[in-house]
Amino acid sequence: MSAPADVHAFWVLLGRAASQPVTDARKELYRWLGKQLRPGREVELRGSGESKSLTFEEVRTDAGSAARLLREDTQPAADAVVIIDLSQTAYDLLREPFLLHVGQAAMEFADRPERTVILVLPGNAPASGSLLWLALEGGEAGPSGSLLVLDRTGAVESRGAETKLPAHFARNFGTRASRLDASVQDRFESKLLRRLGHFDLGALNRKAGKDLCSHHFFDASACIEELAVLLDRQLSGAISKGGRPKWMLVSCGSRSGWTREAAMLAADLAGIDHGEWPRRPTKNPPKEFVGRNLALLFDVVRSGDSARLALEAARRWQDVQVKLAYSAVGPNRAVRDLPGGLKLQPMAKRSLERVPRDRCPQCELELPFSDPEPGQEQGPLRAFDLWSMLLDVDWLPEDYGPRNAERFKSSPDFESVFKRYGDFLAYRYELLLNDLDDNELVVASPDEPAVGELMRRLSVRFDDRIVWIGIPREPVLECVREDGAESNVKALLTKHAEETWARQLSNVRERKEAVVMIDEFNGSGTTAQSMANLLKGAHVDVRGFLPVVDRRPSVDLGAIPIHPLYEIPRPRR
């Protein structure tokens, strides 16, 4: 039986100040690639199991840094399959000098006759004039091994020795690679923001003679591309290629700029025109609508009243046909009785609360209306919102926490809070973090289930550009000592040197980047103090401590500022 083939994979991530563990699904893809190129052999995955991460600053100032990162690992076996995976970084962030150096590194790896190098790019392959191709030209003879360049769809360019690929290799790779990412629908739904507040819907529905409020307000400005892709799929399925010149996608809902942007992008993708619904009712249709079939895009449709008004108006217009109606967000139940028998197709369905003003609890409490424009929230969470979240989940006895400290007998199940309201909390964290750090974001926290869920939501909000250093509780607790003696931490880091979190801290320290500490709540300050001691001992700069709920606001972390989303002075005893 032949020896296992080595698969040496480099997962290159840009915009990160520390490495990240390679996910199991990605490792599986790498193994699959190995088996395709070494048929009949078992494969063994080599490498550190972590990403090769670079900050944008490093890419900008030292394009060769990536190649050095690749070369610093142990050399792959002579017949190894070497994978350089750039697929996770948006193509426009891969600068040409960077591609040149990566291409040169790939050529060096391919300089063994038995070796196969695979370079995986994001999206479609770069244009023919790209420095990447220049690097891959090599000398007159080209590489002695074989070199394949794949894009995410599986399209293949090859260099050097001929590689015999199995049937349907490209298609199968494209399918498997696409499984690594959440579907567009999932991405759209997870990035769709449901802000909490007190929103005046009356101003939006006055034409319908209603004064309504809502505790929620939806915002898709962070997922315009996903919305556009979903719309394009709908439009492409509904409109024949030949009929497209007659069609126009019209954005309705002028209050949200994202509706317009998404409609413009979707129209561009679908190859049809884009228009905007008139702001005021008009007797005659806008000139650009005349003779057209219209597909309308509404932002949020709750009862369908606003859609009905628009469609009624359109029915009175001469020579305009509204044939399709979409909404970014729609109610869980079907919107009935739309004029012309139209069906509204929502891209995401949600429970859409709206309350007549005379029954609105926030109106009764005389709470002011929230600004529907995102990014306006200042300061801590509103008490109404915080408590609506905390009281919406079970309260459980605290099952982990500092040693020798009383556990809370009943505390909100923050994991459920983050599952239900993580989009909103991530958005509020974004507002806080934007003030602290505008480059690579590294977050350190105890590696616990609740905060892990919060980090997942933060990662979605930050388009995966966030590095989470989840430190297991044991090492955190070992740093409880108030003095945070450096020698103790040094010994601790040495003891755990092979663990991911310790290597990530090492990355951050070497790059002189800073981290922020996040936790679900600060109960006594012990964990926060321990984390601060650990990070200080690891010579990592801490920009701030950002608990969701600070139950001991008096805790002193020295120079580390504390910015909680909410304060309730009720510490652990």
Partner 1 sequence: MSRDGAIEPVAAEECRSILHYLRGEKDVWKRDLLLADFANKVDALSPGLADAMRELAIRSCLPQQGPRPEIGKILREDTRAPKLVDVVITTVTPLEWRAARNVFAVDEDSLQVHNGRLYYQLKLPCRAAQRDLEVVITSIMRPLNVRATKALSEIRHYFQGRIYFLLGIAAGRQGRVELGDVVIPEEVLYYPPGRRRPEGTEPRNPHKEVPEAVQRLVNYYEPEQTGFYDCLAAGIRGFATGDLPDGLDDSHRPSILANNVVLASGEELIQDGLLSDLFKTEERVAAGDEEGFGFAEGVGDSPWAIFRGISDYGVDPKPNNWQYVAVYAAGLALRDYIENDFDVPGSETF
Instruction: Give one DSSP letter per residue of 376-418, joined into a string.
Output: ---SSPPHHHHHHHHTTS-EE------TTSPPPSSEE-HHHHH
Query: If 0-12 CB within 10 Å is exposed, 13-18 middle and 19+ buried, where does residue 14 land?
Result: buried
Asked if 116 contacts 158 with a C-beta cutoff of 8 angstroms, the reply is no
Q: Which of 379, 392, 402 lies closest to 448 in space, CA to CA?
A: 402
Exposed e or buried b for every residue in 93-129, given b needs 16+ CB within 10 A? ebeeebbbbbbbbbbbbbebeebbbbbbbbeebbeee
Torsion of CA 318, 324, 327, 331, to 10 degrees: 110
| Binding track over 18-57 against partner 1, x by CB under 8 A | ----------------------------------------
Both tokens of 410, joined, read 């009943």
Q: How far apart are CA 102 and CA 65, in angstroms?
A: 9
Only one of the segments 37-45, 258-266, 295-303, 565-573 lies at the binding site for partner 1 (rule: CB under 8 A); that segment is: 565-573
Q: Which of 40, 46, 43 lies closest to 8 in space, CA to CA?
A: 46
Find where tokens 């039986």 sit.
1
Residue 420 binds to partner 1 (criterion: CB under 8 A): no
For partner 1, give the closer residue by CB, 175 or 376: 376
Query: Cβ of residue 563: shortest distance to partner 1, in angstroms?
Result: 7
| Binding track over 455-494 against partner 1, x by CB under 8 A | ----------------------------------------
Residue 209 binds to partner 1 (criterion: CB under 8 A): no
Q: How far apart are CA 376 and CA 410, in angstroms?
A: 34
Q: How far apart are CA 344 and CA 304, in angstroms?
A: 9
| Binding track over 325-364 against partner 1, x by CB under 8 A | ------------------------------------x-xx
Residue 246 binds to partner 1 (criterion: CB under 8 A): no
Only one of the segments 162-170, 236-244, 345-353, 558-566 lies at the binding site for partner 1 (rule: CB under 8 A); that segment is: 558-566
Residue 168 binds to partner 1 (criterion: CB under 8 A): no
Only one of the segments 264-272, 332-340, 436-444, 556-564 lies at the binding site for partner 1 (rule: CB under 8 A); that segment is: 556-564
For partner 1, give the closer residue by CB, 298 or 545: 545
For partner 1, give the closer residue by CB, 127 or 391: 391
Asked if 106 contacts 84 with a C-beta cutoff of 8 angstroms, the reply is yes
Residue 211 binds to partner 1 (criterion: CB under 8 A): no
Q: How far apart are CA 274 and CA 257, in angstroms?
A: 14
For partner 1, give the closer residue by CB, 113 or 361: 361
SS3 552: coil
| Binding track over 362-401 against partner 1, x by CB under 8 A | -xxxxxx---------xxx-xxx--xx-xx---x------
Q: How far apart are CA 134 and CA 162, in angstroms?
A: 19
Only one of the segments 62-70, 286-294, 510-518, 560-568 lies at the binding site for partner 1 (rule: CB under 8 A); that segment is: 560-568
For partner 1, give the closer residue by CB, 40 or 379: 379
Instruction: Candidates 410, 442, 495, 560: give the one binding partner 1 (CB under 8 A).
Output: 410
Which residues here bind partner 1, judged by CB under 8 A? 361, 363-368, 378-380, 382-384, 387-388, 390-391, 395, 409-411, 553-554, 561-564, 567-570
